[in-house]
């Protein structure tokens, strides 16, 4: 029991993984962000 997280919390993360991931991706999209490492952080205005 010397870990950073409780077993209950780790269990919750495991059982809700799909919903938590979907929520995370939705928040990224609403912020106009992406997890794509090839996406540039600089937008060129041509």
pLDDT at 3: 85
Q: What end-to-end distance do the CA atoms of the chain give, in Å? A: 57
Give the list of residues 6+ apart from residue 25 with CB closer than 8 angstroms, or none.
Answer: 35
| pLDDT in single tens digits along all 46 residues of the chain | 678 999 999 999 999 999 999 999 999 999 988 888 777 667 677 7
Domains of the chain, by residue range, sit at 1-33
**What residue has token string 């995370």?**
24
pLDDT at 1: 64
CA 8, distance to chain mean position in Å, is 20
pTM of the model as a whole? 0.66
């Amino acid at each position: 029991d010397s870990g950073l997280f409780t077993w209950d919390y780790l269990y919750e993360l495991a059982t809700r993984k799909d919903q938590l991931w979907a929520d995370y991706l939705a928040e990224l999209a609403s912020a106009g962000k992406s997890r794509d490492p090839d996406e540039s952080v600089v937008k060129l205005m041509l």
